[in-house]
Chains A and B, each alone.
Chain A
Amino acid sequence: MATQSATLDVNGEAREFQGDPRQTLLDFLRLDLKLTGTKKGCDHGQCGACTVIVNGRRINSCLSLAIMHDGDQITTIEGIGTPENLAAIQRAFVSHDGFQCGYCTPGQICSATAMLKELAAGWPSAVTEAVADTPAPSDKELRERMSGNLCRCGAYSNIIAAIREVMQSEKGT
């Protein structure tokens, strides 16, 4: 199989992809770049554990091939914060116990980060009542928008509480 190459911007660093064109973005991150913060829960776009942010939009990295991302800006959980310097959303997940096993967590956090931008930009969702208005983020609205990220530990209530806290503090600043 002919190898092909691409250059991806991962968390602000240029990373060379040169390999099997069948490799998913998810496996490239996890296996080649050793960025194992992005998780594989299903490899079929069914769980959201592999969510990363590509050019500002959240995607399931298991459903995308690495070779397709030449020139793209990828943000993974490692680019959001570090244990020494947690992002606000990460702090909120810790204080609200927005996880148990932690396996869905990087995906939830990446997803929530992009979701808040979608909300701010006025994107409607399936439960938004009036499409013309900026969606008023009810809990139902947040839940709908986060439903692509499964959590078998069932930390959902705490995840929504954590996201709310971040929304409130952002409003305050």
Chain B
Amino acid sequence: MSDSYDTPDQRNLLDQTAQGVIGQPLARPEGALKVCGQATYAAEHDLRGCAEGVLVGATIGCGRVVRIHRDEVLAMPGVLAIYADQAMLRRNAQGTAGEAPIQDVATVDYYGQPVALVVAESFEQATAAAKALRVDYDVTTDADFDPAEVEYETSEEPDELGDLDRAMNEAAFSIDRTFTTAAHNSAAMEPHASIADWDGSNLTLYGSFQMLKYNVKELADSVDVAEKNVRILSPYIGGGFGSKLGISHDAASAALAARDLGRPVRVTLTRQQVFETITRRSETRQRLRLACDQEGRLTGIGHEAWVTNLPDEGFAEPVTQATKFLYAGQNRRLALAVGRVHLTTAGSVRAPGEAVGMQVLEAAMDEMAEAAGIDPVEFRKRNLPAELPGEGLPYSSRMLSEALDTGARSFGWEQRHPHPCQRREGEWWIGMGVASAARVNILSKAEARVTLRADGRVLVESDQTDLGTGSYAILGQIAAEMLGVPIDRTDVALGDSDLPAGSGSGGSWGATSTGSAVFHACEAIRANLAHKLGVDADDLRLKDGLANGRPVTDLLDRDLVETGRIEPGKTMKDYSQASYGAFFCEAAVNAFTGETRVRRMTGAFGFGRVLNAKTARSQCLGGMVWGIGSALTEAMEFDHRTGRLMTHDLAEYHVPVHRDVPAIEVILLEERDAAASPLQAKGVGELGICGAAGAVASAIYNACGVRLHSFPMTPDKLAKRLPDPFGV
């Protein structure tokens, strides 16, 4: 059987199997370890004689290191060595790079970039020495740090259809607005950390990564050893959100130092280093042009975006990704341009593209609906194209209309006043907003091994990672369902690069891709069992350790081991595939201060088969919390004179806290999408953020009548434009 997924698997096998665990809201199997502090994260592996490394960051934004005053610091207590190696990483690796990123730390590309590693016996000694290390620089005085001041170049051919200018001119209603969104940091709770341990020419690295098969290549290439000599262990990851897709400074420098010192070395980024040196989501400027006819049917969509990155980086935030397929409109222009600045590398942060593209598109859709005098839920439903505009491809499955209806009902959308400033409670204006959710769906190459052991237990193995996404839970559930085994007789081993290469976690594809590999391995085992029983595979009924009524163990004289594979194939090209949903938000805006509080939020989502209703719901919840942050508080603010990041810790970069997040309602819609995967499941890890901030923005407008075109919508921006608080 070919591994390439070329025709939709319509059998819906997981609906015919008997175990009944697929989709169930089962608790995470690793949950007990996590709540007891027994899950071991990267920096926590206990290696004898481990030395402590602390990175030193550049105090200039662009230039060269001319001298490092090593001797002063080498004389400090406990200091073992100082490295400023050519092989150390100047930038971290982009997702799926599979090769070393730009190395050599003698050149400084951005403020805070690591220029040296100090290693000492203890963490306190290394920290003190790193602080004391004096570095002289040759500063480049004409470097660009301000996105508003640089030239932009088209990143790829604009996507044009029809004549947008004409559609705008002839439209019954149209809007033309320019929005901005701030740069974001993933800010995973666990800072990046690596412990490197060499045994001869073999390197074992305990790290925190999302995609081990690529990370092995990146690390091997960085420290110049063969891939087969590198093993990465990442059993538990304290959040990733894109920031751990590729290897970063800690991994390469720990490996280099450990090789030189002949003992294990641990390097953990400080929180400030995470902000200053790990990939940011680019700030964006976005021009939205929408045109519609008298009936509120879109005739034109223009979405043009300007983003930045360092020179020589191929990544450009794909802002218009969802605009391509979401709404109708025969006259279109989607374009993306990149400017080059000396700020931290821009790369993938949770839902690259949609996270900031959708919130702006959706905020603009709210304005368009208002201009056309149509309810914004109805306006969206009226503009769902029958096929992919311009390309005529069918949609594999799209639950957007259902999500809008179900969400609206549950949220109580009918209570919304169509006009702003209609509802006041004390000093608070109250309003409601809606937005669509959409995120492209991608299948990625994956492999997994499943063992049905002679004693009837099942073991699933892959280098797949679990960032909190639920991989441990759902991969076990797929195997238990397919092989008819109770979930407590199923074991899942992940996060070891010696295991078969899963898809890794990124682009929301981990569950469906590695899950499909597990599914295929289980199918092979099922075929074997059917053969042993002398029945057709279709007539095989596996449940609770019984195969057509007989104990499976009776059929096994040894372990049955199968490796399953999947690769993206024709279904990716034959259909437009995405996960969809809808957000509803009730916000309160303080009539005097402009402070915004999200009071309620509902999200309804359709992403194919739900593999575990508990972990999937949590993914959606988490995404919506990110939406609140993107709407109201999160911003990387740089000093444009020096390139220095001024919001470089959790006191300055404001991720939502408990008080910022109300009880959030999540509705999971029943759906099967056979074009997406043989599981009929699609990705869900990023969907919850894609558009969420647009619902908050629209709720703010509906509350107080202010349309801000600048995210985050902080009190300073709102307060200036609020209506007279006493004027009603």
Contacts and interface: CB of A to CB of B under 8 A. Distances in A.
Contact of B35 (A42, A47, A86, A158): A86
A152 B241 contact: yes
A106 B664 CA distance: 23
Contacts of B37: 35-39, 76-78, 105-106
A52 to B, nearest CB: 11
A101 B650 contact: no
A144 B659 contact: yes
Given A20-B122, A22-B124, A154 B661 contact: yes
B36 A154 contact: no
Closest 7 CB pairs of A and B: A37-B37, A154-B625, A100-B468, A103-B238, A101-B468, A102-B34, A154-B622
Given A43-B270, A44-B651, A31 B659 contact: no
A104 interface: yes
A30 B77 CA distance: 22
A74 B621 CA distance: 34
B123 interface: yes
Contacts of A160: 658, 663
B467 A101 contact: yes
A83 interface: yes
Nearest to B270: A43
A34 B650 contact: no
Interface in B14-54: 27-28, 30-41, 43-44, 46
Q: A interface, how many residues as a size bin?
A: 35 or more
A100 B661 contact: no
A25 interface: no
A44 B34 contact: no
Contact of B33 (A38, A49, A83): A83
Interface stretch (B92-100, B186-194, B695-703, B709-717): B186-194
B618 A155 contact: yes
A53 interface: no
Nearest to A85: B36
Nearest to A41: B189
A95 interface: yes
A26 B21 CA distance: 41
Given A102-B238, A154-B656, 16 more contacts: A23-B123, A27-B123, A36-B37, A36-B40, A40-B268, A46-B649, A46-B650, A83-B32, A86-B36, A97-B31, A102-B35, A103-B189, A144-B658, A144-B659, A154-B623, A157-B664
A69 to B, nearest CB: 16
Interface string B462-506: 000001111000000000000000000000000000000000000
B617 interface: yes
A97 B467 contact: no
25 contacts: A27-B124, A36-B40, A37-B38, A39-B190, A43-B270, A77-B36, A81-B36, A83-B36, A83-B38, A86-B35, A93-B31, A94-B35, A97-B27, A99-B31, A101-B237, A101-B239, A103-B468, A142-B658, A143-B659, A147-B658, A149-B658, A151-B189, A152-B241, A154-B621, A154-B661
A130 interface: no
Nearest to A162: B35
Contacts of B268: 40
Q: Which of B188, B614, B650, B658 has the largest number of chain A CB atoms within 10 A?
A: B658
Given A44-B271, A100-B468, A103-B239, A150 B189 contact: yes
B36 A39 contact: no
Contacts of B649: 42, 44, 46
Contacts of B619: 100
Interface in B157-193: 186-191
Interface residue SS majority, chain B: loop
A90 interface: yes
B32 A86 contact: yes
Q: Which of A1, A76, A94, A102 has the largest number of chain B CB atoms within 10 A?
A: A102
A104 B37 CA distance: 10
Contacts of A37: 36-38
A16 interface: no
Contacts of B32: 83, 86, 90, 94
Contacts of B657: 147-148, 150, 156
Contacts of A101: 188-190, 236-240, 467-468
Nearest to A36: B44
Given A44-B271, A82-B36, A102 B650 contact: no
Nearest to B123: A27
Contacts of A81: 35-36
Contact of A31 (B33, B123, B236, B624): B123
A44 B272 CA distance: 10
Contacts of A68: none
B36 A90 contact: yes
B621 A155 contact: yes
Given A43-B270, A160-B663, A97 B36 contact: no
Contacts of A77: 35-37
Contacts of B77: 1
